[in-house]
């Protein structure tokens, strides 16, 4: 008889959102007993949100897939890994052989931003496939910010983050961090940080069509018509210039294009934009003056400013304001993180680079320009449906649920059903993966190592935290890096039984060689063999992470910087390593060809006439926006009972005046129609909404045939993306318009 397992508590970073809180997880044997906030975490100091406990249920969820599955018709069979790989090898290569590389597409979902393996290995598969048909959740999310930041600062992840701990004035547009816990702004306990701003005498202003939870803790809420942020921001810049409030400070010598910006915003006086924005001119002028007067201010925009018609213009203007007020790159303003691993703005020649380019290719059907090597997710269905050379016939979906998360989910669902072959890397049989022929499941989040390569590049402090796997994966399950390598091997013509270790050695060697080639290489004077030997015996994602840490800005550079960082250092500091507050980084952080901040990128200026035309457009009677919910995570936490119980949450929020006018009542049902679809949703009447604007959360709609999520299907809700129009995208970034969808509303059954 074995002794009863003892309880142990270990720290681990929460993988569920961008806040990266440290959890203290108590386990007994293979069971999670409790999850609390880790008081010793150097970044989150014990904070956690109600979502954290979902990790325990996710780990234990009987619906979570643990074995590969093959579908024949509507029958799913659990198979061995070898059988699943053989099935892929049988079905995938012939498609590329017969129809070319373009016939195989990839869709990458959001969890890949929170996942060490999925940060490092999908790109190996992409290279092996060589397909231009790459899509991701980025084009239903933050792509506009990548474009504006790339053009202004030189690399797409050089995104300024508000220095929450030191700012005195925070202007938030289109974000609700009290609920979302922050995005493109890695910051545990946003509520506490916002409270601290006000406690030290600072001011918070929230611009949002809804009086959100964040607006409720702010000094001022400005209700704005959906999609009009670029107009408001241009008017703010207009006032700064007209009233001689521009103070570039030390940025002056590093900034190009100030005059061009001044010329462009001249047309957008507060009086000109007021009616389109639904914001009085005096409010705009007062806000501009307060922003200019504040000692240390930051302007921050998120989902509401990105997933809209003028996403790139709005994202750009946010940072134009940060520059014009001299707040970019100074303490308490909007600053650049110096991340420990994988940041493009810490590699190569400091202060200068190749810059950022889009449109190297165009999508076949709509001619949408490539951005960051991707086409818009809103183009995926048409690329599958439209016959001709280059038509997509096979899809590999990696940690994504585009049927619920991208525009016109119904059309996409039909398109996926028509594919010759679909492979899903997923942990559930859900609305998207039900269309797959093969599903390769990932591990429990607790069975794999964790380090946030991307999110640490957007953190409000320089921090590094590594969490080793809490549990060993089941002996018969393959970690995702191995299955991704096997599929990459298959795409390269290797048998499904190829040697994973050899493939992985090849991947790390390529990475070493690319670092060897960079200017000012941290590996200068070494050979790839030396470096490989120094990384032994690590393998897989840990080995790549060690390489990135050691060649990063704090790294030990394999001995030439004694005392520098390596994975071993992080292993010795399981509650994280605090590398200090954000520090000014201009000009070193820049990678533009001119070595300057490009305040007026040509491509962006060329889009301004479209904004001007929006001033004259008739307005839709109702506009649909979205919202996030504390106990939710896009589409995939609804199978956790504790996250869905209680009152119905997938409701259409409507202002009382609109409800009265439309004949809707709280608890009743409404029929909502857009150009592309219709749905019925329960009505929630609330004066938090701006009149003329209604809100539905995304990620719901689980009652589709074939979904195997027992809890989620009982709390199905409706898929708001049945209403989102796949034709509506921000032209510069390809990002879908998910905020400000024109809709008609009527009582259901009327
Ligand atoms: N209308 C509207 N639509 C929106 C938004 C909105 O605000 N309004 N927001 C958009 C945003 S910001 C985002 S990020 C997208 C998200 O879009 P997606 O990334 O397409 O969707 P998710 O719901 O995040 O689905 C994640 C999938 O990954 C799976 N998964 C979870 N963990 C793992 C893992 O470890 N390995 C693997 N292989 N799979 C895993 C889940 O089961 C799920 O199927 O939705 C977007 N859609
Ligand atoms: N609990 C929870 N946390 C999450 C997620 C989740 O699903 N649940 N998802 C995660 C993901 S993937 C992301 S990307 C982040 C997003 O994080 P946030 O950007 O903070 O997302 P939201 O909470 O949706 O806030 C967007 C706000 O924009 C407003 N809005 C809509 N249209 C407009 C507009 O035209 N102009 C302006 N100014 N505002 C507008 C909406 O009313 C809403 O309050 O959250 C992450 N965190
Ligand atoms: S805020 Fe985000 S990272 Fe922190 S506990 Fe909640 S879900 Fe996890
Ligand atoms: Mo997102």
State the DSSP string of 451-469.
Answer: --TTGGGGBSEEEE--B--
Topology, domain 7-60? N-terminal domain of TfIIb (2.20.25)
- 187 alpha carbon to ligand 4 midpoint, in Å? 15
Averaged pLDDT, 291-314 = 98
204 lines ligand 2 (CB under 6 A): no
Note whether 358 and 147 are within 8 A (CB).
yes
- 137 alpha carbon to ligand 1 midpoint, in Å? 7
Q: Is the model more confident about 519 or about 341?
A: 341
- 19 alpha carbon to ligand 3 midpoint, in Å? 6
- 111 alpha carbon to ligand 2 midpoint, in Å? 16
- 406 alpha carbon to ligand 1 midpoint, in Å? 9
Provide the pLDDT for residue 88.
98
Atom of ligand 2 nearest to the CA of 226: 35
With 90 as the cut, is the pLDDT of residue 13 above it? yes
Topology, domain 619-747? Barwin-like endoglucanases (2.40.40)
Atom of ligand 3 nearest to the CA of 52: 5
630 lines ligand 2 (CB under 6 A): yes
211 lines ligand 2 (CB under 6 A): no
How far apart, in Å, are the Cα atoms of 696 and each of 274, 661, 684, 693? 26, 19, 10, 10
Please report which residue ranges of 188-278 form alpha helices under DSSP H: 190-199, 213-216, 229-242, 258-265, 270-277
With 70 as the cut, is the pLDDT of residue 311 above it? yes
Note whether 206 and 214 are within 8 A (CB).
yes
Provide the pLDDT for residue 750.
59
How far apart, in Å, are the Cα atoms of 581 and each of 147, 395, 419? 26, 43, 50
The SS3 of residue 88 is helix
Averaged pLDDT, 639-658 = 95
State the DSSP string of 377-421.
Answer: GGGHHHHHHS-STT---EEEEES--HHHHSS-HHHHHHHHHT-SE
> 253 CB contacts (<8 Å, ≥6 apart)?
none
Provide the pLDDT for residue 225.
98
Provide the pLDDT for residue 590.
98
- 384 alpha carbon to ligand 4 midpoint, in Å? 24
What rounded mean pLDDT belongs to the chain?
97
The DSSP secondary-structure symbol of 27 reads E
CATH 2.40.40.20 domain position(s) in the chain = 619-747
- 449 alpha carbon to ligand 1 midpoint, in Å? 21
Expressed in angstroms, the distance from the first to the final Cα of the chain is: 68
Q: Which helix (H) or strand (E) holds 500?
A: helix 500-517
CA distance 263 to 257: 10
**Residue range 29-65, pLDDT digits in tens:** 999 999 999 999 999 999 999 999 999 999 999 999 9
CATH 2.20.25.90 domain position(s) in the chain = 7-60
β-pairing, 203-207 vs 577-581, is unpaired
Note whether 295 and 168 are within 8 A (CB).
yes
- 227 alpha carbon to ligand 4 midpoint, in Å? 18
With 60 as the cut, is the pLDDT of residue 1 above it? no
Q: To test the ligand 3 pocket, which listed residue (35, 41, 47, 52) has its Cβ within 8 A of the most ligand atoms?
A: 52
Note whether 530 and 515 are within 8 A (CB).
no
170 lines ligand 2 (CB under 6 A): no
Provide the pLDDT for residue 3.
66
Structure tokens at 101: 């590389």
**Residue range 381-393, pLDDT digits in tens:** 999 999 999 999 9
Note whether 544 and 508 are within 8 A (CB).
yes
Token pair 């005498």: residue:
201
- Counting ligands in written order, the one closest to the CA of 189 is 3
> 434 CB contacts (<8 Å, ≥6 apart)?
704, 705, 706, 707, 708
Note whether 709 and 416 are within 8 A (CB).
no
Note whether 566 and 556 are within 8 A (CB).
yes
The SS3 of residue 87 is helix
Q: Please choose, from the candidates 241, 246, 245, 291, the residue with its C-alpha nearest in 3D space to the C-alpha of residue 266.
A: 241
Give pTM, 2 decimals.
Answer: 0.98
**Residue range 450-490, pLDDT digits in tens:** 999 999 999 999 999 999 999 999 999 999 999 999 999 99
20 lines ligand 3 (CB under 6 A): yes
Note whether 156 and 732 are within 8 A (CB).
no
With 80 as the cut, is the pLDDT of residue 323 above it? yes
633 lines ligand 2 (CB under 6 A): yes
β-pairing, 394-398 vs 104-108, is parallel
Averaged pLDDT, 525-530 = 94
CA distance 624 to 474: 45
Provide the pLDDT for residue 2.
61
Cα four-point dihedral sign 69, 70, 76, 77: negative
User: Closest Cα to atom 2, ligand 3: which residue?
Assistant: 17
Provide the pLDDT for residue 204.
98
pLDDT band at residue 518 using 50, 70 and 90 as cut-offs:
confident
Q: To test the ligand 2 pocket, which listed residue (112, 145, 180, 619) has its Cβ within 8 A of the most ligand atoms?
A: 180
Q: Would you say domain 143-349+594-610 falls under CATH 3.40.228.10?
A: yes
Atom of ligand 1 nearest to the CA of 433: 44
Longest dimension (CA), the chain: 82
- Counting ligands in written order, the one closest to the CA of 409 is 1
Least confident of 4-13, 77-86, 544-553, 693-702: 4-13
CATH number given to 69-139+358-580: 3.40.50.740
Provide the pLDDT for residue 749.
80
Q: Which helix (H) or strand (E) holds 490?
A: helix 480-491
313 lines ligand 2 (CB under 6 A): no
Averaged pLDDT, 58-81 = 97
- 455 alpha carbon to ligand 3 midpoint, in Å? 13
- 48 alpha carbon to ligand 2 midpoint, in Å? 19
Token pair 């545990």: residue:
188
User: Closest Cα to atom 4, ligand 3: which residue?
Assistant: 21
User: Which residues, by Cβ under 5 Å, contact ligand 4, an ion?
Assistant: 141
Strand partners, 221: 206
User: Closest Cα to atom 6, ligand 3: which residue?
Assistant: 49
CATH 3.40.228.10 domain position(s) in the chain = 143-349+594-610
The SS3 of residue 527 is coil
């Amino acid at each position: 008889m074995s002794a009863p397992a003892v309880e142990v508590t270990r720290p681990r970073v929460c993988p569920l959102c961008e806040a990266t809180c440290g959890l203290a997880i108590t386990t007994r044997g293979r069971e999670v007993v409790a999850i609390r906030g880790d008081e010793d975490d150097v970044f989150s100091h014990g904070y956690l949100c109600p979502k954290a406990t979902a990790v325990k249920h996710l780990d234990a969820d009987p619906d979570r897939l643990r074995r590969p599955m093959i579908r024949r018709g509507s029958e799913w069979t659990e198979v061995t890994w070898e059988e699943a790989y053989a099935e892929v090898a049988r079905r995938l290569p012939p498609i590329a052989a017969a129809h070319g590389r373009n016939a195989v597409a990839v869709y990458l979902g959001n969890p890949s931003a929170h996942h060490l393996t999925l940060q490092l290995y999908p790109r190996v598969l992409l290279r092996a496939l060589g397909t231009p048909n790459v899509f991701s959740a980025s084009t239903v999310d933050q792509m506009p910010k990548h474009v504006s930041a790339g053009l202004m600062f030189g690399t797409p992840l050089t995104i300024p983050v508000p220095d929450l701990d030191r700012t005195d004035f925070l202007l938030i547009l289109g974000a609700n961090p009290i609920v979302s816990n922050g995005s493109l702004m890695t910051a545990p306990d946003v509520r506490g940080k916002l409270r601290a701003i006000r406690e030290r005498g600072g001011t918070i202003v929230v611009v949002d069509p809804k009086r959100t939870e964040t607006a409720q803790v702010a000094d001022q809420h400005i209700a704005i018509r959906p999609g009009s942020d670029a107009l408001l921001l241009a008017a703010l810049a207009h006032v700064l210039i007209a009233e001689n409030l521009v103070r570039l400070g030390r940025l002056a010598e590093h900034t190009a294009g100030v005059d061009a910006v001044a010329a462009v915003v001249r047309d957008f006086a507060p009086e000109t934009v007021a009616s389109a924005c639904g914001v009085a001119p005096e409010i705009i002028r007062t806000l501009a003056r307060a922003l200019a007067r504040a000692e240390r201010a930051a302007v921050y925009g998120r989902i509401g400013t990105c997933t809209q018609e003028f996403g790139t213009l709005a994202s750009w203007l946010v940072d134009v304001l940060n520059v014009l007020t001299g707040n970019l790159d100074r303490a308490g303003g909007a600053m650049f993180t110096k991340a420990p691993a994988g940041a493009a703005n810490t590699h190569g020649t400091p202060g200068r680079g190749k810059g950022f380019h889009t449109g190297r290719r165009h999508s076949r059907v709509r001619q949408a320009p490539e951005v960051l090597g991707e086409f818009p997710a809103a183009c995926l269905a048409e690329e599958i449906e439209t016959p001709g050379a280059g038509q997509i016939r096979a899809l590999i979906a990696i940690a994504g649920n585009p049927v619920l998360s991208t525009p016109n989910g119904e059309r996409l669902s039909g398109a996926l059903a028509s594919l010759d072959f679909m492979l899903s890397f997923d942990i559930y049989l859900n609305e998207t993966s039900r269309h797959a022929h093969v599903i390769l499941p990932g591990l429990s989040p607790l069975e794999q190592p964790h380090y946030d390569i991307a999110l640490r590049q957007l953190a409000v402090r320089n921090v590094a935290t590594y969490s080793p796997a809490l549990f060993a994966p089941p002996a018969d399950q393959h970690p995702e890096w191995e299955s991704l390598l096997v599929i990459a091997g298959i795409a390269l013509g290797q048998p499904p039984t190829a040697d994973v270790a050899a493939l992985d050695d090849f991947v790390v060697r390529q990475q070493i060689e690319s670092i060897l080639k960079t200017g000012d290489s941290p590996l200068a004077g070494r050979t790839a063999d030396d470096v490989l030997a120094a990384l032994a015996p690590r393998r897989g994602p840990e080995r790549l992470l060690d390489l990135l840490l050691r060649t990063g800005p704090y790294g030990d550079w394999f001995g030439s910087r004694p005392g520098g960082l390596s994975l071993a250092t992080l292993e010795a500091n399981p509650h994280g390593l605090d590398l200090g507050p954000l520090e000014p980084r201009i000009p070193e952080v820049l990678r533009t060809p001119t070595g300057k901040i490009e305040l007026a990128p040509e491509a962006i200026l060329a889009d301004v006439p479209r904004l001007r035309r929006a001033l004259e457009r008739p307005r839709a009677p109702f506009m649909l926006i979205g919202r996030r919910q504390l106990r939710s995570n896009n589409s995939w936490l609804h199978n956790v009972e504790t996250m869905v119980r209680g009152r119905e949450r997938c409701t259409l929020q409507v202002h009382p005046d609109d409800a009265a006018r439309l004949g809707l009542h709280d608890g009743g049902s409404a029929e909502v129609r857009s150009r592309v679809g219709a749905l019925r949703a329960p009505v929630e009447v609330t004066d938090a909404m701006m009149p003329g604007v209604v809100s539905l959360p995304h990620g719901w709609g689980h009652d589709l045939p074939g979904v195997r999520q027992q809890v989620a299907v009982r709390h199905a809700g409706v898929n708001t993306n049945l209403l989102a129009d796949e034709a509506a995208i921000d032209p510069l970034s390809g990002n879908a318009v998910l905020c400000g969808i024109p809709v008609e509303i009527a009582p259901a059954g009327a």
